[in-house]
């Protein structure tokens, strides 16, 4: 029987330890911190899949988050269990990505970025005036509360977010080691060359786009189980764009470990700068500019340049060799 790689065993062990945190009595503040980190990590992984590996500078993650959150919230108002609403929200986000894929993929470069940035603003205006449930106290910008989640504990939402983050890491890992991953990196390097080599550029882009929308959607819907009220200014807030963008750029775009590093830093900044209001965005923007200027490849890229990964890699290789010999 083939012995699992040591890195896989370490990853599984880390996942098990994280899953035990609510059981062993970790403080609620840490569970809050880790919940937000998992949501940010899932978003960053998907943004990195598109921008870092496919070359699509996607500026509409808040469209997927808002649509998924509203779908789940409105679903609970008409009698749908929130678990079904969670899945429905992710599906609606993916369907929206499918609908807009043909027109936005006809745009290139900065036009693609601007085109995707406009979409969430249109949705924000739409949901500010739409009242699908019909209650006089709902809609018109007032938003909706998610019903049926009164019995959901912080531990439950923590495990849900952990599962989504782990799934996002696993999905990226599988994609990058498949023919889909090869096609995506070929498109990123040179779309025309990839097309001339026989790659179906539209289908490859669409595959990564739908996967990203699905996971971004389910991560956004999970957030609104934790914070069970959604409104247009929150669900379609540009914050849902800045978080994955900053996490990926700070951590290292086009690297597997970059979003993990970046999501941890952005989560830390979110909590530390919570009392600064609008100034927090300015401070985060200054940090982002500093990272782009001083470390264009992000923290992960800098660590690779200085050889910080060599010792742990050799340690893992030596340990794996010893396991196989025994």
pTM: 0.90
Distance in angstroms between the alpha carbons of the first and the last residue of the chain: 13
pLDDT at 65: 97
Candidates 230, 79, 68, 225; CA nearest to 150 is: 225
With tokens 């899945």, the residue in question is 87
Distance from C-alpha of 83 to C-alpha of 85, rounded to nearest angstrom: 5
Whole-angstrom Cα distance, residue 281 to residue 283?
5
Bigger pLDDT: 140 vs 276: 276
pLDDT value, residue 314: 58
Angle 297-240-17 from CA coordinates, rounded to 5° = 75
Give the pLDDT band (50/70/90) at residue 326. Answer: low
Is residue 150 packed enough to be buried (19+ CB in 10 Å), middle (13-18) or exposed (0-12)?
Answer: exposed
Q: Please write the tens of the pLDDT for every residue from 165-188.
A: 999 999 999 999 999 999 999 999
Q: Please compute the mean of the pLDDT values over residues 282-303 and round it to a whole number.
A: 85
Does the pLDDT value for residue 315 go beyond 60? no
Residue 166: which residues within 8 A CB-CB, separation 6 or more? 15
Q: What is the rounded distance in angstroms from the CA atom of residue 109 to the CA atom of residue 285?
A: 22
110 vs 55, 58, 308, CA distance in Å? 12, 10, 35
Query: CA distances (Å), 168 to each of 35, 123, 162, 213, 246, in order?
Result: 15, 26, 10, 12, 18
Both tokens of residue 265? 């830093």
Alpha carbon distance 290, 265 (integer Å): 14
Q: Give the phi and the psi of residue 238 in degrees, each rounded to 5.
A: -65, -15
- pLDDT of 294 > 80? The answer is yes
Distance of CA 305 to the CA centre of its chain: 26
Write the CA distances from 95 to 42, 88, 175, 231, integer angstroms: 19, 10, 21, 21
237 pLDDT more than 90: yes
Is the pLDDT confidence value at 139 over 50? no
Closest CA to 235 of 93, 41, 67, 43: 67
3 confidence band (pLDDT: 50, 70, 90): very low
C-alpha–C-alpha distance, residues 284 and 289, integer Å: 9
**What is the band of 6 on the pLDDT scale with cuts at 50, 70, 90?**
low
């Amino acid at each position: 029987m083939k012995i699992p790689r040591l890195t896989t065993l370490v990853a599984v062990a880390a996942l098990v330890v994280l899953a035990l945190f609510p059981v062993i009595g970790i403080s609620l503040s840490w569970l809050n911190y880790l919940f937000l980190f998992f949501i940010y990590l899932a978003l960053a992984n998907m943004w990195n899949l598109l921008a870092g590996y496919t070359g699509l500078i996607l500026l509409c993650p808040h469209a997927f988050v808002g649509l998924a959150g509203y779908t789940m919230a409105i679903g609970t108002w008409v009698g749908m269990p929130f678990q079904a609403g969670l899945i429905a929200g992710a599906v609606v986000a993916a369907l929206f990505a499918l609908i807009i894929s043909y027109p936005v993929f006809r745009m290139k470069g900065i036009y693609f970025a601007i085109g995707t940035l406009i979409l969430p603003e249109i949705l924000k205006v739409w949901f500010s005036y739409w009242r699908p449930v019909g209650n006089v106290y709902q809609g018109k910008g007032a938003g909706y509360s998610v019903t049926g989640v009164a019995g959901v504990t912080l531990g439950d939402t923590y495990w849900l977010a952990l599962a989504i983050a782990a799934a996002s890491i696993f999905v990226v890992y599988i994609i990058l080691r498949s023919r889909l991953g090869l096609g995506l990196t070929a498109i990123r390097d040179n779309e025309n060359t990839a097309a001339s080599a026989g790659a179906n550029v539209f289908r490859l882009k669409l595959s990564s786009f739908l996967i990203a929308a699905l996971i971004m959607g389910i991560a956004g819907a999970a957030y609104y189980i934790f914070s069970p009220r959604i409104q247009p200014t929150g669900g379609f807030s540009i914050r849902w764009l800045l978080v994955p963008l900053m996490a990926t750029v700070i951590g290292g775009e086009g690297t597997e470990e970059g979003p993990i590093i970046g999501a941890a830093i952005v989560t830390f900044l979110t909590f530390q700068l919570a009392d600064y209001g609008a100034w927090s965005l300015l401070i985060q923007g200054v940090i982002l500019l500093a990272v782009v200027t001083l470390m264009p490849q992000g923290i992960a890229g800098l660590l690779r340049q200085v050889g910080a990964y060599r010792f742990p890699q050799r340690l893992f290789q030596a340990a794996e060799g010893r396991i196989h010999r025994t």
